[in-house]
């Protein structure tokens, strides 16, 4: 979620009740999320529907608890071997989790991994990985790199790296709607592309 202020832009990652508070009452001007949840927000009148704009693609990556051995995931076969060798695996139920699950199914490992897989319903996977709740965690790369308590291993290989789309939209209770609309225009402009790539995402392309 992005909150626009007079002196610049403040970016906040909220979840649970804190996120609901921002969406319903602010202070906030823009929100970014996957297309499904964004459609729900538009239907509920929480965002201005005609401002919903595809924003970025975020690839999938794998991480381990800080200091733990890093598995080889450079190829599809080595990734498959790493999943089979892991004692426990964690990933979310959102877009990234759906795409991770599809990849695991394409590898023919769904039933073999089921008993040792934890599905995260709240917060990022890295929060749980840092606590040692499972051996390896898989999620969007841009929210795994540089997180204290975990070591990023690398992106998922080949066809398994199924990216997630994020959209951006104006919240209906925004106090600075014109500035927020201008921010959306900048976020999807060619000038913003190098800045986006620094955060390990790619500008949206249909």
Whether 127 and 65 share a structural domain: yes
> Using 50, 70 and 90 to split pLDDT, how confident is the model at 68?
very high
User: For position 204, what pLDDT does the model report?
Assistant: 95
Q: At a CB cut-off of 8 Å and minimum separation 6, what does 68 contact?
A: 135, 151
Position 3 pLDDT exceeds 60: no
Whether 72 and 114 share a structural domain: yes
Buried b (16+ CB within 10 A) or exposed e, 128-153: bbbeeebbbbbbbbbbbbebeebbbb
User: Across all residues in the chain, what is the average pLDDT?
Assistant: 92
| Tally of domains within the chain | 2
Structural domain containing residue 111: 60-160
Residue with tokens 């906030």: 28
Whether 93 and 153 share a structural domain: yes
> Using 50, 70 and 90 to split pLDDT, how confident is the model at 121?
confident
- Distance CA(19)–CA(48), nearest Å, equals 17
Predicted structure pTM score: 0.82
The proportion of the chain whose per-residue pLDDT surpasses 70, expressed as a percent, equals 96
Position 38 pLDDT exceeds 80: yes
Instruction: Specify whether the CB–CB gap between 91 and 120 falls below 8 A.
Output: yes
Instruction: Specify whether the CB–CB gap between 187 and 55 falls below 8 A.
Output: yes
Position 122 pLDDT exceeds 50: yes
Both tokens assigned to 183: 């921010």
Closest CA to 33 of 16, 55, 49, 12: 55
User: For position 10, what pLDDT does the model report?
Assistant: 80
Whether 80 and 153 share a structural domain: yes
Whether 146 and 172 share a structural domain: no
User: For position 7, what pLDDT does the model report?
Assistant: 43
| Section 48-59 average pLDDT | 97
Q: What is the DSSP letter of 174?
A: -
Per residue in 159-180, pLDDT (tens digit) is 999 999 999 999 999 999 999 9
Whether 101 and 175 share a structural domain: no
Whether 75 and 153 share a structural domain: yes
Q: Which of 22-26, 85-89, 112-116 has the lowest mean pLDDT?
A: 22-26
Q: How wide is the angle at C-alpha 118 spanned by C-alphas 112 and 122, nearest 5°?
A: 155
Position 183 pLDDT exceeds 70: yes
CA torsion through residues 12, 18, 24, 25, sign: negative
**CATH number, domain at 136?**
3.40.190.10
């Amino acid at each position: 979620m992005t909150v626009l202020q007079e002196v610049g832009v403040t970016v906040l990652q909220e979840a649970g009740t804190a996120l609901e508070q921002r969406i319903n009452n602010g202070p906030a001007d823009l929100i970014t999320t996957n297309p499904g949840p964004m459609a729900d927000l538009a239907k509920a009148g929480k965002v201005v529907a005609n401002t919903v704009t595809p924003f970025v693609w975020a690839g999938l990556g794998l991480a381990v608890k800080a200091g733990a051995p890093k598995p080889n995931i450079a190829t599809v076969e080595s990734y498959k071997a790493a999943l089979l060798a892991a004692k426990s695996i964690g990933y979310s139920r959102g877009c990234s989790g759906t795409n991770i699950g599809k990849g695991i199914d394409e590898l023919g490992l769904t039933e073999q991994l089921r008993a040792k897989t934890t599905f995260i319903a709240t917060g990022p996977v890295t929060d749980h990985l840092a606590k040692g709740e499972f051996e390896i965690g898989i999620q969007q790369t841009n929210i795994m790199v540089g997180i204290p308590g975990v070591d990023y291993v690398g992106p998922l290989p080949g066809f398994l790296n199924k990216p997630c789309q994020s959209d951006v939209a104006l919240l209906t209770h925004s106090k600075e709607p014109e500035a927020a609309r201008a921010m959306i225009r900048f976020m999807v402009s060619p000038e913003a592309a190098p800045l986006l790539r620094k955060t390990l995402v790619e500008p949206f392309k249909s």
